[in-house]
Protein backbone atom coordinates (compact mmCIF):
# COMPACT_ATOMS: atom_id res chain seq x y z
CA UNK A 1 0.00 0.00 0.00
CA UNK A 2 2.94 2.35 0.55
CA UNK A 3 3.81 2.35 -3.15
CA UNK A 4 0.14 2.53 -4.13
CA UNK A 5 -0.36 5.62 -1.99
CA UNK A 6 2.90 7.14 -3.19
CA UNK A 7 1.94 6.48 -6.81
CA UNK A 8 -1.55 7.94 -6.37
CA UNK A 9 -0.26 11.01 -4.54
CA UNK A 10 2.23 11.52 -7.34
CA UNK A 11 -0.22 11.16 -10.20
CA UNK A 12 -3.01 13.03 -8.41
CA UNK A 13 -1.60 16.37 -9.52
CA UNK A 14 -0.40 15.93 -13.09
CA UNK A 15 0.97 19.47 -13.44
CA UNK A 16 3.15 19.08 -10.37
CA UNK A 17 4.26 15.66 -11.57
CA UNK A 18 5.24 17.19 -14.90
CA UNK A 19 7.29 19.88 -13.12
CA UNK A 20 8.99 17.22 -10.99
CA UNK A 21 9.81 15.08 -13.98
CA UNK A 22 11.10 18.03 -15.99
CA UNK A 23 13.36 18.91 -13.07
CA UNK A 24 14.75 15.40 -12.86
CA UNK A 25 14.97 15.07 -16.63
CA UNK A 26 16.81 18.36 -16.97
CA UNK A 27 19.17 17.33 -14.22
CA UNK A 28 19.83 13.87 -15.66
CA UNK A 29 20.44 15.14 -19.19
CA UNK A 30 22.77 17.87 -17.96
CA UNK A 31 24.72 15.51 -15.70
CA UNK A 32 24.81 12.82 -18.41
CA UNK A 33 26.08 15.27 -21.02
CA UNK A 34 28.70 16.75 -18.72
CA UNK A 35 29.94 13.40 -17.42
CA UNK A 36 29.64 11.88 -20.89
CA UNK A 37 31.85 14.64 -22.23
CA UNK A 38 34.22 14.18 -19.31
CA UNK A 39 34.42 10.46 -20.02
CA UNK A 40 34.78 11.08 -23.74
CA UNK A 41 37.57 13.58 -23.08
CA UNK A 42 39.28 11.17 -20.70
CA UNK A 43 39.19 8.43 -23.29
CA UNK A 44 40.65 10.72 -25.94
CA UNK A 45 43.40 11.86 -23.62
CA UNK A 46 44.43 8.36 -22.60
CA UNK A 47 43.61 6.39 -25.75
CA UNK A 48 47.25 6.02 -26.84
CA UNK A 49 48.38 5.05 -23.34
CA UNK A 50 45.51 2.58 -23.02
CA UNK A 51 46.36 0.98 -26.36
CA UNK A 52 50.09 0.73 -25.69
CA UNK A 53 51.30 -2.65 -24.46
CA UNK A 54 53.80 -2.04 -21.70
CA UNK A 55 53.73 -2.09 -17.94
CA UNK A 56 56.04 0.89 -17.46
CA UNK A 57 56.70 4.16 -19.28
CA UNK A 58 60.08 5.87 -19.25
CA UNK A 59 59.52 9.57 -19.88
CA UNK A 60 61.65 12.69 -19.86
CA UNK A 61 61.59 14.23 -16.40
CA UNK A 62 58.38 16.20 -15.89
CA UNK A 63 56.60 15.01 -19.06
CA UNK A 64 53.03 16.07 -18.45
CA UNK A 65 51.15 13.98 -20.98
CA UNK A 66 51.42 11.70 -24.00
CA UNK A 67 51.68 14.76 -26.26
CA UNK A 68 54.24 16.45 -24.03
CA UNK A 69 57.09 13.94 -24.10
CA UNK A 70 59.59 16.01 -26.07
CA UNK A 71 62.46 14.18 -27.76
CA UNK A 72 64.79 14.12 -24.81
CA UNK A 73 65.51 10.42 -24.40
CA UNK A 74 68.24 8.58 -26.26
CA UNK A 75 69.55 5.07 -26.78
CA UNK A 76 71.58 5.29 -23.55
CA UNK A 77 68.41 5.11 -21.46
CA UNK A 78 67.21 2.18 -23.56
CA UNK A 79 70.38 0.25 -22.91
CA UNK A 80 70.31 1.07 -19.23
CA UNK A 81 66.73 -0.14 -19.04
CA UNK A 82 67.45 -3.34 -20.91
CA UNK A 83 70.15 -4.09 -18.36
CA UNK A 84 67.67 -4.06 -15.48
CA UNK A 85 66.53 -7.38 -14.10
CA UNK A 86 62.98 -8.32 -15.09
CA UNK A 87 62.88 -6.16 -18.23
CA UNK A 88 61.95 -8.05 -21.38
CA UNK A 89 61.67 -5.28 -23.98
CA UNK A 90 62.17 -1.53 -24.19
CA UNK A 91 60.23 -0.06 -27.12
CA UNK A 92 60.77 3.52 -28.30
CA UNK A 93 57.99 5.91 -29.21
CA UNK A 94 58.32 9.33 -30.81
CA UNK A 95 55.54 11.81 -30.09
CA UNK A 96 55.63 15.49 -30.95
CA UNK A 97 53.46 18.31 -32.19
CA UNK A 98 54.31 19.33 -35.75
CA UNK A 99 53.01 21.74 -38.34
CA UNK A 100 50.78 20.30 -41.08
CA UNK A 101 50.70 22.50 -44.14
CA UNK A 102 47.36 22.31 -45.84
CA UNK A 103 47.59 21.57 -49.56
CA UNK A 104 45.43 24.59 -50.37
CA UNK A 105 47.18 27.00 -48.03
CA UNK A 106 47.43 27.62 -44.34
CA UNK A 107 48.52 25.18 -41.69
CA UNK A 108 47.33 23.32 -38.65
CA UNK A 109 48.97 21.30 -35.91
CA UNK A 110 49.15 17.53 -35.76
CA UNK A 111 50.62 15.14 -33.24
CA UNK A 112 53.22 12.99 -34.96
CA UNK A 113 53.24 9.52 -33.41
CA UNK A 114 56.21 7.41 -34.46
CA UNK A 115 55.84 3.76 -33.59
CA UNK A 116 56.95 0.41 -34.88
CA UNK A 117 54.07 -1.96 -34.14
CA UNK A 118 56.26 -4.93 -34.99
CA UNK A 119 57.95 -4.30 -31.62
CA UNK A 120 54.62 -4.90 -29.93
CA UNK A 121 54.47 -1.46 -28.31
CA UNK A 122 51.87 0.96 -29.62
CA UNK A 123 49.85 -0.61 -32.42
CA UNK A 124 47.52 1.85 -34.18
CA UNK A 125 43.96 0.66 -33.64
CA UNK A 126 40.70 1.11 -35.49
CA UNK A 127 42.39 1.06 -38.90
CA UNK A 128 39.41 0.90 -41.24
CA UNK A 129 40.96 1.81 -44.59
CA UNK A 130 44.44 0.52 -45.44
CA UNK A 131 46.86 -1.45 -43.27
CA UNK A 132 50.02 -0.77 -41.31
CA UNK A 133 51.95 -2.30 -44.23
CA UNK A 134 50.54 0.52 -46.39
CA UNK A 135 51.68 3.06 -43.79
CA UNK A 136 55.17 1.59 -43.90
CA UNK A 137 55.44 2.32 -47.62
CA UNK A 138 57.36 5.53 -48.54
CA UNK A 139 55.90 8.74 -46.98
CA UNK A 140 52.98 6.74 -45.57
CA UNK A 141 50.98 7.89 -42.57
CA UNK A 142 47.60 7.06 -41.00
CA UNK A 143 45.16 9.73 -39.79
CA UNK A 144 41.60 9.66 -38.53
CA UNK A 145 38.73 10.06 -40.97
CA UNK A 146 37.08 12.71 -38.86
CA UNK A 147 39.99 15.12 -39.38
CA UNK A 148 40.23 14.94 -43.19
CA UNK A 149 38.50 18.27 -43.66
CA UNK A 150 40.60 19.88 -40.95
CA UNK A 151 43.74 18.61 -42.70
CA UNK A 152 42.41 19.81 -46.08
CA UNK A 153 42.71 16.38 -47.69
CA UNK A 154 40.11 14.03 -49.15
CA UNK A 155 41.43 10.62 -48.22
CA UNK A 156 43.92 7.91 -49.05
CA UNK A 157 46.53 8.98 -51.59
CA UNK A 158 46.47 12.68 -50.75
CA UNK A 159 49.74 14.31 -49.78
CA UNK A 160 50.77 17.14 -47.48
CA UNK A 161 53.85 18.70 -45.94
CA UNK A 162 54.51 17.90 -42.26
CA UNK A 163 57.38 19.72 -40.57
CA UNK A 164 60.45 18.92 -42.68
CA UNK A 165 58.99 16.39 -45.10
CA UNK A 166 56.19 15.21 -47.31
CA UNK A 167 53.65 12.61 -46.23
CA UNK A 168 51.00 10.64 -48.07
CA UNK A 169 47.86 9.29 -46.43
CA UNK A 170 47.96 5.51 -46.78
CA UNK A 171 45.51 4.42 -44.10
CA UNK A 172 42.59 5.84 -42.14
CA UNK A 173 41.45 5.22 -38.61
CA UNK A 174 37.96 5.75 -37.24
CA UNK A 175 37.16 7.20 -33.86
CA UNK A 176 40.77 7.96 -32.90
CA UNK A 177 40.26 11.55 -31.83
CA UNK A 178 42.52 13.95 -30.08
CA UNK A 179 41.54 16.02 -27.06
CA UNK A 180 43.91 18.78 -28.21
CA UNK A 181 42.09 18.80 -31.58
CA UNK A 182 45.52 18.31 -33.21
CA UNK A 183 44.98 15.03 -35.14
CA UNK A 184 47.27 12.09 -34.47
CA UNK A 185 49.41 11.17 -37.50
CA UNK A 186 50.74 7.62 -37.08
CA UNK A 187 53.87 6.61 -38.95
CA UNK A 188 56.96 4.42 -38.53
CA UNK A 189 59.37 5.77 -35.94
CA UNK A 190 62.19 6.45 -38.38
CA UNK A 191 59.89 8.60 -40.55
CA UNK A 192 58.73 10.50 -37.50
CA UNK A 193 62.34 11.30 -36.54
CA UNK A 194 63.06 12.33 -40.10
CA UNK A 195 60.07 14.66 -40.32
CA UNK A 196 60.85 16.21 -36.97
CA UNK A 197 64.53 16.60 -37.85
CA UNK A 198 65.48 14.63 -34.75
CA UNK A 199 68.62 12.54 -34.27
CA UNK A 200 68.38 8.84 -35.12
CA UNK A 201 67.99 7.76 -31.51
CA UNK A 202 65.86 10.64 -30.20
CA UNK A 203 62.89 9.25 -28.37
CA UNK A 204 59.91 10.63 -26.44
CA UNK A 205 59.03 7.55 -24.41
CA UNK A 206 60.26 4.06 -23.83
CA UNK A 207 57.61 1.45 -23.26
CA UNK A 208 58.92 -1.23 -20.94
CA UNK A 209 57.58 -4.77 -21.15
CA UNK A 210 58.41 -6.99 -18.22
CA UNK A 211 59.42 -10.60 -18.16
CA UNK A 212 56.70 -12.96 -16.95
CA UNK A 213 56.55 -12.99 -13.16
CA UNK A 214 58.62 -9.82 -12.72
CA UNK A 215 57.46 -7.50 -9.97
CA UNK A 216 56.45 -4.13 -11.46
CA UNK A 217 57.37 -2.13 -8.36
CA UNK A 218 60.81 -3.61 -7.90
CA UNK A 219 61.64 -3.20 -11.61
CA UNK A 220 60.45 0.36 -11.43
CA UNK A 221 62.62 1.08 -8.39
CA UNK A 222 65.59 -0.43 -10.18
CA UNK A 223 64.96 1.62 -13.33
CA UNK A 224 64.48 4.85 -11.36
CA UNK A 225 67.82 4.37 -9.70
CA UNK A 226 69.46 4.17 -13.12
CA UNK A 227 68.15 7.47 -14.57
CA UNK A 228 68.93 11.00 -13.58
CA UNK A 229 66.77 12.92 -15.99
CA UNK A 230 64.03 10.42 -16.76
CA UNK A 231 61.02 9.24 -14.86
CA UNK A 232 59.56 5.76 -14.68
CA UNK A 233 55.79 5.65 -14.44
CA UNK A 234 53.27 2.86 -14.45
CA UNK A 235 50.71 3.06 -17.22
CA UNK A 236 48.14 4.03 -14.59
CA UNK A 237 50.29 6.88 -13.28
CA UNK A 238 50.91 8.16 -16.77
CA UNK A 239 47.18 8.06 -17.52
CA UNK A 240 46.46 10.01 -14.33
CA UNK A 241 49.14 12.53 -15.09
CA UNK A 242 47.83 13.07 -18.61
CA UNK A 243 44.26 13.44 -17.36
CA UNK A 244 45.37 15.83 -14.67
CA UNK A 245 47.23 17.96 -17.20
CA UNK A 246 44.52 18.24 -19.78
CA UNK A 247 41.40 18.13 -17.65
CA UNK A 248 42.35 19.88 -14.45
CA UNK A 249 45.29 22.14 -15.20
CA UNK A 250 43.42 23.54 -18.21
CA UNK A 251 40.18 23.83 -16.21
CA UNK A 252 38.21 21.84 -18.79
CA UNK A 253 37.47 18.99 -16.40
CA UNK A 254 36.53 21.36 -13.60
CA UNK A 255 34.05 23.06 -15.93
CA UNK A 256 32.54 19.71 -16.93
CA UNK A 257 32.27 18.45 -13.35
CA UNK A 258 31.03 21.86 -12.21
CA UNK A 259 28.31 21.72 -14.85
CA UNK A 260 27.31 18.25 -13.67
CA UNK A 261 27.14 19.42 -10.04
CA UNK A 262 25.07 22.42 -11.09
CA UNK A 263 22.68 20.07 -12.87
CA UNK A 264 22.39 18.00 -9.71
CA UNK A 265 21.79 21.08 -7.59
CA UNK A 266 19.07 22.46 -9.86
CA UNK A 267 17.40 19.04 -10.07
CA UNK A 268 17.52 18.61 -6.31
CA UNK A 269 15.97 22.03 -5.68
CA UNK A 270 13.16 21.48 -8.18
CA UNK A 271 12.33 18.00 -6.89
CA UNK A 272 12.58 19.18 -3.27
CA UNK A 273 10.16 22.03 -3.96
CA UNK A 274 7.59 19.87 -5.68
CA UNK A 275 7.81 17.08 -3.10
CA UNK A 276 7.46 19.61 -0.29
CA UNK A 277 4.39 21.21 -1.83
CA UNK A 278 2.90 17.77 -2.54
CA UNK A 279 3.46 16.80 1.10
CA UNK A 280 1.83 20.03 2.28
CA UNK A 281 -1.19 19.28 0.11
CA UNK A 282 -1.49 15.79 1.55
CA UNK A 283 -0.78 16.82 5.14
CA UNK A 284 -4.30 15.98 6.31
CA UNK A 285 -3.94 12.49 4.86
CA UNK A 286 -0.59 11.99 6.56
CA UNK A 287 -2.15 13.19 9.84
CA UNK A 288 -4.95 10.65 9.33
CA UNK A 289 -2.36 7.92 8.80
CA UNK A 290 -0.65 9.02 11.99
CA UNK A 291 -3.97 9.00 13.87
CA UNK A 292 -4.66 5.50 12.53
CA UNK A 293 -1.48 4.48 14.29
CA UNK A 294 1.07 4.47 11.51
CA UNK A 295 4.65 4.90 12.59
CA UNK A 296 6.53 7.94 11.34
CA UNK A 297 8.68 5.49 9.39
CA UNK A 298 5.61 4.39 7.41
CA UNK A 299 4.87 7.98 6.39
CA UNK A 300 8.51 8.60 5.53
CA UNK A 301 8.38 5.54 3.28
CA UNK A 302 5.37 7.00 1.45
CA UNK A 303 7.28 10.22 0.79
CA UNK A 304 10.43 8.33 -0.17
CA UNK A 305 8.24 6.15 -2.39
CA UNK A 306 7.04 9.29 -4.17
CA UNK A 307 10.64 10.44 -4.52
CA UNK A 308 11.74 7.01 -5.75
CA UNK A 309 8.97 6.75 -8.33
CA UNK A 310 9.77 10.27 -9.56
CA UNK A 311 13.41 9.27 -9.80
CA UNK A 312 12.72 6.13 -11.83
CA UNK A 313 10.35 7.84 -14.27
CA UNK A 314 12.58 10.91 -14.56
CA UNK A 315 15.66 8.74 -15.04
CA UNK A 316 14.10 6.70 -17.84
CA UNK A 317 12.95 9.85 -19.69
CA UNK A 318 16.26 11.60 -19.04
CA UNK A 319 18.29 8.64 -20.27
CA UNK A 320 16.28 8.43 -23.49
CA UNK A 321 17.20 12.04 -24.22
CA UNK A 322 20.80 11.57 -23.03
CA UNK A 323 21.24 8.55 -25.32
CA UNK A 324 19.86 10.56 -28.22
CA UNK A 325 22.45 13.25 -27.47
CA UNK A 326 25.19 10.58 -27.30
CA UNK A 327 24.07 9.27 -30.68
CA UNK A 328 24.01 12.76 -32.17
CA UNK A 329 27.50 13.55 -30.86
CA UNK A 330 29.12 10.52 -32.51
CA UNK A 331 30.62 12.43 -35.44
CA UNK A 332 31.61 15.56 -33.53
CA UNK A 333 35.16 16.41 -32.42
CA UNK A 334 34.13 15.83 -28.80
CA UNK A 335 31.84 12.82 -28.70
CA UNK A 336 29.92 11.99 -25.55
CA UNK A 337 30.40 8.58 -24.02
CA UNK A 338 27.76 6.56 -22.21
CA UNK A 339 28.86 3.35 -20.53
CA UNK A 340 26.84 0.87 -18.47
CA UNK A 341 28.83 2.04 -15.47
CA UNK A 342 27.93 5.69 -16.12
CA UNK A 343 24.28 4.76 -16.69
CA UNK A 344 24.25 2.87 -13.37
CA UNK A 345 26.02 5.74 -11.61
CA UNK A 346 23.50 8.20 -13.03
CA UNK A 347 20.66 6.03 -11.71
CA UNK A 348 22.26 5.96 -8.27
CA UNK A 349 22.77 9.73 -8.41
CA UNK A 350 19.12 10.23 -9.41
CA UNK A 351 17.88 8.10 -6.54
CA UNK A 352 20.22 9.91 -4.16
CA UNK A 353 19.14 13.32 -5.48
CA UNK A 354 15.45 12.46 -5.01
CA UNK A 355 16.08 11.00 -1.55
CA UNK A 356 17.85 14.22 -0.53
CA UNK A 357 14.99 16.19 -2.05
CA UNK A 358 12.54 14.27 0.12
CA UNK A 359 14.25 15.47 3.31
CA UNK A 360 12.39 18.80 3.51
CA UNK A 361 9.08 16.97 3.06
CA UNK A 362 10.06 14.41 5.69
CA UNK A 363 10.95 17.19 8.14
CA UNK A 364 7.52 18.67 7.46
CA UNK A 365 5.62 15.48 8.28
CA UNK A 366 7.82 14.75 11.27
CA UNK A 367 6.26 17.82 12.88
CA UNK A 368 2.75 16.75 11.94
CA UNK A 369 0.16 16.90 14.72
CA UNK A 370 -2.24 13.97 14.40
CA UNK A 371 -4.77 16.03 16.39
CA UNK A 372 -5.35 18.07 13.23
CA UNK A 373 -7.62 15.21 12.09
CA UNK A 374 -10.21 16.64 14.45
CA UNK A 375 -10.18 20.10 12.91
CA UNK A 376 -13.45 20.49 11.12
Q: Distance between CA atoms of 328 and 316, rounded to whole angstroms? A: 18
Which DSSP category does 118 fall into? Answer: G
SS3 62: coil
From the list 114, 107, 163, the residue with the least C-alpha distance to 142 is: 114
Backbone angles phi, psi at 301, to 5 degrees: -65, -35
280 touching other proteins, by CB under 8 A:
no
SS3 98: strand
Kindly state the helix (H) or strand (E) to which residue 353 belongs, with its residue range: helix 340-366
3 touching other proteins, by CB under 8 A:
no
294 touching other proteins, by CB under 8 A:
yes
Among 292, 324, 328, 348, indicate the residue that binds other proteins (CB under 8 A): 292
Among 108, 126, 244, 296, indicate the residue that binds other proteins (CB under 8 A): 296
Backbone angles phi, psi at 124, to 5 degrees: -55, 135
Q: Distance between CA atoms of 155 and 133, rounded to whole angstroms? A: 17
2 touching other proteins, by CB under 8 A:
yes
Q: How many other C-beta atoms are found inside a 10 Å radius of the C-beta of residue 211?
A: 11
Among 43, 298, 313, 351, indicate the residue that binds other proteins (CB under 8 A): 298
Among 156, 291, 312, 317, indicate the residue that binds other proteins (CB under 8 A): 291
Helices 235-243 and 14-51 pack at an angle, to 10 degrees, of 130
Q: Distance between CA atoms of 148 and 103, rounded to whole angstroms? A: 12
* Shortest Cβ 351–other proteins spacing (Å): 24
Among 9, 42, 48, 279, indicate the residue that binds other proteins (CB under 8 A): 9
12 touching other proteins, by CB under 8 A:
yes
Among 5, 73, 270, 319, indicate the residue that binds other proteins (CB under 8 A): 5
Which CB, 236 or 281, lies closer to other proteins? 281
Among 18, 265, 284, 348, indicate the residue that binds other proteins (CB under 8 A): 284
Touching other proteins, residues 354-373 (CB under 8 A): 370-371, 373
**Residues at the site binding other proteins, with contacts judged by CB under 8 A:** 1-2, 4-5, 8-9, 12, 284-285, 288-296, 298, 370-371, 373-374, 376
Amino acid sequence: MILTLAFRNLFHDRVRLAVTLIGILFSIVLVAVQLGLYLGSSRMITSNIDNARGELWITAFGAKSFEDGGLLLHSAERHQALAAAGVAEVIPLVVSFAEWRRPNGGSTRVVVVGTDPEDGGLVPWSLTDGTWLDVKSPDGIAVDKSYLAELDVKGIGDTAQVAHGRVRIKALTEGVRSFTQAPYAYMPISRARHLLGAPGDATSFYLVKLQPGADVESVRRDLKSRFESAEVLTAEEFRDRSLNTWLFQTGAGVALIGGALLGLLVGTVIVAQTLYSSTKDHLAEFATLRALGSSSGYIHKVILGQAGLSAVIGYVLGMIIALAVVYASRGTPLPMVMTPWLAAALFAVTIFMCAISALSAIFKVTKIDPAMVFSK
